[in-house]
Structure 1
Amino acid sequence: MPRGLILVATPIGNLADITLRALDTLRRADVIACEDTRVTARLLARYGIETSLLAYHDHNAARRRPVLLDRLRRGETVALVSDAGTPLVSDPGFKLVRAARDAGINVTAAPGPSAPLTALVISGLPSDRFLFAGFLPPRGAARRTALGTLATVPASLLFFESAGRLAATLADMATVLGPREAAVARELTKLFEEVRRAPLPELAAHYAAAGPPKGEIVIVVAPPEEAAATEADLDAALERALAEMSLRDAAAAVATATGRPRREVYARALALARDKPEDRRS
């Protein structure tokens, strides 16, 4: 086993999914740095591994990083794990990797499960090109702005989301990205694994009616259609956006999503607003 910092992928759901290489690495490491010692302790107990644990997470990373680097400089092997899946995907580990690299310490990985990749390959959506965007902002306006920056990316989009925000996030996706095919994958590799696939508006309506589901969630959204939007498509996108946003924000979001000039889209949004008697904020 190589010395230095080793990134070890742990099971997403079933503890039996861990690889033999990962178990060997955890057993032979001098210390295991982990997000939550209680979670990792259950994994170690399952396989009779007695390696000591050290908590390393968002709240203590700046304080613990020098401790781990000092141990690495002394020639020890540090195994870094997340609570589930591959480390450094939405956790603070990348700063430790960067510091170790800068210090000339060897960094390698014992690869394995990844929730975003698992969701992508079982979603039935295009997997030749994809972009993992982590968690979107929790507030609606910031979330729609973030989605607008991703609207023209020619790849499938992958997101983490909490159960409580799922319906609102799907509704914002439908507004900004349009009726793209999408999939909501939850409880991956566990007993009650579920993948629900439908256009974004249908998914938003389903979870709004059904309420927050249980489990950890990955959303996969199909790439944008390559064909240019028709005038009818533009009007439909504006109508959806105007139902949720001010006129100015709706025009900006749709312009970003369609690639149309912002001035042109704003003018069309004004025309649509004039056709309706209700007040539109500009």
Structure 2
Amino acid sequence: MQATIDISWIDLSLFMLLTLIPLTIGRHFQLAITKEVVIAVVRMTLQLLLVGLYLQFLFNLNNSWLNLIWLSAMIMIGASAVLSGAKLPPKTLFAPMMVSLCVALLPILAILLLWLLKPTPLYSAQYLIPLAGMLLGNSLNGNIVALQRLFTSLEDNRSEYEAALALGARPKQASQPFVQSAMKQSFAPILASMTTTGLVTLPGMMTGQILGGSDPMVAIKYQLIILLAIFVVLSVCVTITLQLSVRTALNPSGKLLIHRNN
């Protein structure tokens, strides 16, 4: 099996010139995205370079407390990113979002590290940080979709919600159809991905490991573990997020206290 092939900085710089293709397309069709694309590429490059330097330092130091601080920062930034993406006020929903991310992520992360992978040491940054990043990243997208769907549906279908309240339903019961719809929509992408993985798509983690010289069957085992872990974390996190959001957003009489920012 061939070892990982390094890429020179010159070759990488030349490859990035391919960005001119989408820029040309945008200019031809007058999409007005030139500034947005340039900012996105520059930010992505700088952020990845800084993260790469920091992760090198983190992996070499491999300090348990520093790893936990980094993990905590990832969760807090993730909670903020979800609420920002869903255009919801962080002041009232930040704590519920933090709780749902921690309850969903930490037990699965512990199972992966303590029972399945057993790295040495157990808090090894090489495993802890990438695993947490993959699980969090996919969970954030699902939560954004779920919260957007929930609050948009409650606002757009206010008459149906108020009719259920008028018929004697409690706020939790009246909001249940909207919660169910939000859950289904947030689960749809990961279910579609799981259904087509291997036949239509080859996930990034598996491809990266194979390109890095790993045995394909070992890469497949890791990919199965990660996809299942992502689905479990996502389902638990979305469920808790929606339940806590409903409790926070609705008062005892059923009035919606939180609205999305336009």
TM-score range, shorter chain: under 0.3
Greater share of strand residues, 1 or 2? Answer: 1
Q: Which has the larger radius of gyration?
A: 1
- Give the TM-score, by structure 1 length: 0.22
Greater share of helix residues, 1 or 2? Answer: 2
- Give the TM-score, by structure 2 length: 0.23
RCO higher in 1 or 2 (8 Å CA, sep ≥ 6)? 2
